[in-house]
């Protein structure tokens, strides 16, 4: 194989209760990337569309991921790399993760699949670390595995795929402001009260149980975040109104997607998700903040080869 084109999905990390431990992949929104082998050993980013990102391979997380993979195999190859961003960095939808996971997946395919999916998560995490200073696994795991994922452990990396109930739909509102993941992590406390930790891990258990039993109401009750959301929501204009409106319109739950500013809601059924979209669109249309909204099903496949 000399050339590969892939689609790498946007993702929602944390899913309210599972900071750094839960993620899900979205359908229809993501990046496309093309990797073409060269006759020499140079790694060259030839095109970037959709975002203002560095072309220098040493400054782009794509280079970090490729070099780590080649070093592990003690191999040198040359590649032309095209990056078509389907959504912006700093959106809370796992932009750096989509590039990192897409790169790890594509290089693995080009090299004849020497690595396992879990190893690809580890390489992609290096890309996350290059982009935001922390080797976070939730977005890259959701992008690579698809569906819902639980990161049970980072050392060693252990990713568990969770079931995806058929009728879950995500509504997302992306205000066009950029929040850097690093900044959104810096507002968080280093220590938390035990009672909050209890609430949080009980909700993670509830959410996981709800996914296994198709218990939509339990999923909704478990979508609570008493640890991270109180700090981060201050960075997102009108967060409380949007969340309240989504819940009043029948969403099972709503919260901050990853590090924000995207706000997500989960609903049972596409028509409910679309009603939620109308409601939150109505709130943001009265502000002077640019934004867009979309409804997505859960992407069960993760990164994939496209034509």
Under DSSP, the state recorded for 298 is B
13 contributes a contact to ligand HSE by CB under 6 A: yes
Annotated catalytic residue within 32, 128, 229, 277:
128
20 contributes a contact to ligand HSE by CB under 6 A: yes
Under DSSP, the state recorded for 297 is E
For residues 252 and 165, the answer to whether their CB atoms sit within 8 Å is no
Q: In angstroms, what CA-CA distances link 222 with 17, 198, 209, 210, 245?
A: 7, 13, 10, 8, 18
Q: How far is the CB of 125 from ligand HSE (least distance, A)?
A: 12
Cis before 10 (ω within 30): no
Q: Which stretch binds ligand HSE (CB under 6 A): 12-20, 33-41, 101-109, 218-226?
A: 12-20
Annotation says 181 is catalytic: yes
262 contributes a contact to ligand HSE by CB under 6 A: no
Give the other-Cβ count within 10 Å of 120's Cβ.
27
| Binding pattern for the stretch 200-239 against ligand HSE, x by CB under 6 A and - elsewhere | ----------------------------------------
Beta-bridged to residue 127, according to DSSP, are none
259 contributes a contact to ligand HSE by CB under 6 A: yes
181 contributes a contact to ligand HSE by CB under 6 A: yes
- Distance, in Å, from the CA atom of 96 to the CA atom of 89, rounded to the nearest integer, reads 7
Which residue, 258 or 261, has its beta carbon nearer to ligand HSE?
258
Which residue is associated with the tokens 């990797």?
35
136 contributes a contact to ligand HSE by CB under 6 A: yes
Q: Which residue number has the CB closest to ligand HSE? A: 258
- What values do phi and psi take at 38, rounded to 5? -105, 170
The residues of the shown chain that bind ligand HSE, judged by CB under 6 A, are: 13-14, 19-20, 94, 136, 138-139, 181, 184-185, 258-259
């Amino acid at each position: 194989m000399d050339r590969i084109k892939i689609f790498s999905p946007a993702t929602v990390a944390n899913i309210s209760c599972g900071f750094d431990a839960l993620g899900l992949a979205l359908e229809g929104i993501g990046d496309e990337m093309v990797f073409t082998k060269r006759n020499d050993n140079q790694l060259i980013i030839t095109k970037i569309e959709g975002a203002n990102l560095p072309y220098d391979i040493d400054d782009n997380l794509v280079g970090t991921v490729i070099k780590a993979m080649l070093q592990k195999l003690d191999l040198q190859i040359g590649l032309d790399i095209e990056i078509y961003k389907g959504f912006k960095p700093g959106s809370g939808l796992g932009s750096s993760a989509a590039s990192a996971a897409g790169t790890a997946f594509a290089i693995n395919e080009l090299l004849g699949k020497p690595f396992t999916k879990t190893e690809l998560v580890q390489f992609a995490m290096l890309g996350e670390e290059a982009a935001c200073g922390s080797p976070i696994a939730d977005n890259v795991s959701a992008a690579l595995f698809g569906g819902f994922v639980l990161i049970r452990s980072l050392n060693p990396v252990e990713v568990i795929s969770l079931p995806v109930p058929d009728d879950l739909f995500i509504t997302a509102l992306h205000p066009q402001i950029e929040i850097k993941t690093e900044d959104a992590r810096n507002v968080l406390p280093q220590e938390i009260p035990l009672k909050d930790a209890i609430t949080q891990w009980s909700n993670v258990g509830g959410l996981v149980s709800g996914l296994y039993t198709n218990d939509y109401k339990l999923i909704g009750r478990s979508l609570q975040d008493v640890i991270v959301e109180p700090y981060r929501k201050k960075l997102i204009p009108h967060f409380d109104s949007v969340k309240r409106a989504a819940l009043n319109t029948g969403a099972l739950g709503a919260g901050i997607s990853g590090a924000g500013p995207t706000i997500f809601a989960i609903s049972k059924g596409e028509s409910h998700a679309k009603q939620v979209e109308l409601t939150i669109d109505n709130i943001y249309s009265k502000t002077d903040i640019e934004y867009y909204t979309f409804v997505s099903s859960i992407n069960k496949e993760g990164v994939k080869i496209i034509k």
